[in-house]
Chains A and B, each alone.
Chain A
Amino acid sequence: MATSQTKKTTGSRVEASVEIAVSARNISKNYGETEALKNLSLDFPRGQLTSLLGPSGCGKTTLLKIIGGLLSADSGEVEVGGQAVTGPGEDRAFVFQDFALLPWASVIRNVAFGLELRGVAKSERESIAEKYINDVGLAGFENSYPHELSGGMRQRVGLARALSVDAQVLLMDEPFSAVDEQTRRKFQEDLLSLVQNENKTFIFVTHSIEEAVYVSDQIAILLPRPSRVSEIIKPSGFRDKGPENIRRDPEYLDIVDKIWASLRSYVE
């Protein structure tokens, strides 16, 4: 397997701004007897997308929830923008695998719900929500209800809700795994331009190797028992070649193969 390309992580974009937006230091977390995370450290560069990739049970969602402040680590600490995380905060927003929309609320109320919980006045939050509903391509569906939308459209609502609170860090928990394959490809392309255009830090949990390599500036491979970061891969050569050329780029294919080679022994 040709691994030389991935070892030299000298892409201009990666090295130019190595400001760290989120850093996890020596995180450990146990569920009873089970060690979910053991002494895990990982840095997330600002303005980039970092994937957490690994077999199921490797603790990637646990790590995401600890960064989000939804779970507390048994030891170690997370810093976001230099501030230690003690709980959920306005600097982070979640996108959920199952969308987590309020089934009893219209699209606009769902998109504005984050702002509603942060105490923004109704007219203001609805005009902000309106903008992001347009941005994700759901104009005209403001007064629809989630059960009237397709899976892909529902996740656009979830994405608009996360964007509307204007958090610096977006935490995405397998956001595209519940939508169909074609919608997923479209989402992946949209995500690339989102990372380009919004100056936000994306932390992206996925179990799809192709997806991780396609969208990521940095891929952290997590391995279970005990959970740890086994490798960090920074694809550098194909990011600027346009979304339609990435999937046949030799470096893309090599990285996919290499990751599969290191993960296959962990798949039951």
Chain B
Amino acid sequence: MKVFGYQLPGMSSLILWGLLWEIVGRVGVTFFIPPLSEVFQTLFAIIGTPAFVKALSETAYAFSMGVFFAIVIGIPVGILMGKSRLLDELLLPWVNIFLSAPLTALVPVLMVLFGFGMKSIIITTSLFAIWIIILNSRAGVMQINRSLVDMANSFGASSWEAFTKIYFWAALPEILGGVRIGVIRAVKGVIIGQLLISIVGFGALFELYSANFMMTHFWAVLIVLFALAFTISEFLAYLESRVAYYAAKR
């Protein structure tokens, strides 16, 4: 963005929105919106407290485990669906249903099946992330250049070699795109899981703060969470741009 001929650094518009927030907070329209400066004061005050660190580490654990399973299951399943017509016919309807289904409604079922602990939260997180990863990996494999496959076969590639040396790399731009969207959905999954299943991690903090009308605390935790999700997403977008140069040239 350029103002009066000066090039402003990226995301300068956030300053404007921050100011607006501050003004609305100072005017005192509603107690739900405290001034942004107070939110940040609270943020720095609670960020080192044991309750916060515990919430962060629990959430990070559930999140990374959930994303890990979504990726290590999702990518191979997607690639196999892209390669095998039979598997595709069998699984595609389910993947599409789960992609658009309101997964929150499934969480109570997960509680019954897997108990009220961390296991259910991790599974919820995986369920939020995995479908788009499968679909994107599948799409990446389906647009693969047939002559690359012929080339590998003509040199006697085994199916494992074709998988690791051709299919995975050819589909990588789409796979990373899917992982990025999956990770963003996993943030939703981990918070919803924590709120609904067992009151732990950030879910517990949200519950505590909002029940007691501690709005500055509430917003402080929310900002931390948004910042984390945004950072991870931007990092994956950066990785994506590193491989995008060949996406158009396959």
- Are the C-beta atoms of B150 and A102 separated by less than 8 Å? no
- Are the C-beta atoms of B147 and A118 separated by less than 8 Å? no
Contacts of B245 in A (CB 8 A): 147
Complex CA distance for A232 and B193, rounded to whole angstroms: 73
- Are the C-beta atoms of A70 and B153 separated by less than 8 Å? yes
Q: Which of A88, A103, A146, A147 contacts B154 (CB 8 A)?
A: A88
- Are the C-beta atoms of B246 and A147 separated by less than 8 Å? yes
- Are the C-beta atoms of A68 and B154 separated by less than 8 Å? yes
A176 within 8 A of B: no
- Are the C-beta atoms of A104 and B246 separated by less than 8 Å? yes
What's the least CB distance linking B246 to chain A, in Å?
4
What's the least CB distance linking A154 to chain B, in Å?
10
Complex CA distance for A141 and B193, rounded to whole angstroms: 53
- Are the C-beta atoms of B150 and A100 separated by less than 8 Å? yes
- Are the C-beta atoms of A104 and B156 separated by less than 8 Å? no
Chain B minimum-CB-distance residue to A119: B156
Using known A-B contacts A98-B145, A98-B147, A100-B147, determine if residue A117 contacts B249 with beta carbons closer than 8 Å: no
Q: Which of A65, A96, A114, A117 contacts B161 (CB 8 A)?
A: A117
B142 within 8 A of A: no
Chain B minimum-CB-distance residue to A115: B155
- Are the C-beta atoms of B147 and A88 separated by less than 8 Å? no
A26 within 8 A of B: no
Using known A-B contacts A100-B147, A104-B172, determine if residue A117 contacts B246 with beta carbons closer than 8 Å: no
- Are the C-beta atoms of B147 and A117 separated by less than 8 Å? no
Chain B minimum-CB-distance residue to A147: B249
Using known A-B contacts A98-B147, A104-B169, A117-B161, determine if residue A88 contacts B153 with beta carbons closer than 8 Å: yes
Chain A minimum-CB-distance residue to B246: A103
Contacts of A97 in B (CB 8 A): 147
- Are the C-beta atoms of A96 and B246 separated by less than 8 Å? no
Contacts of B156 in A (CB 8 A): 88-90, 117-118
The size class of the interface chain A forms with chain B is: 20 to 34
Complex CA distance for A72 and B192, rounded to whole angstroms: 53
Complex CA distance for A137 and B3, rounded to whole angstroms: 52
What's the least CB distance linking B143 to chain A, in Å?
13
A132 within 8 A of B: no
Contacts of B166 in A (CB 8 A): 102
Complex CA distance for A27 and B13, rounded to whole angstroms: 69
A93 within 8 A of B: yes
B224 within 8 A of A: no
Contacts of B150 in A (CB 8 A): 65, 70, 94, 96, 100
Complex CA distance for A93 and B169, rounded to whole angstroms: 23
Complex CA distance for A113 and B201, rounded to whole angstroms: 49
B85 within 8 A of A: no
Complex CA distance for A39 and B155, rounded to whole angstroms: 28
Chain B minimum-CB-distance residue to A69: B154
Complex CA distance for A89 and B148, rounded to whole angstroms: 17
Chain B minimum-CB-distance residue to A65: B150
Binary A-proximity of B221-250 (CB < 8 A = 1, otherwise 0)? 000000000000000000000010110011
Could you jot down 25 A-B contacts, CB within 8 Å? A65-B150, A68-B154, A69-B154, A70-B150, A70-B154, A88-B154, A88-B156, A89-B156, A92-B154, A93-B154, A94-B150, A94-B154, A96-B147, A96-B150, A100-B145, A102-B148, A103-B246, A103-B250, A104-B169, A104-B243, A117-B161, A117-B165, A118-B156, A165-B155, A171-B154
Name A residues whose Cβ lies closer than 8 Å to a Cβ of B: 65, 68-70, 88-90, 92-94, 96-98, 100, 102-104, 113-114, 116-118, 145-147, 165, 171
Name B residues whose Cβ lies closer than 8 Å to a Cβ of A: 145, 147-148, 150-157, 161, 165-166, 169, 172, 243, 245-246, 249-250
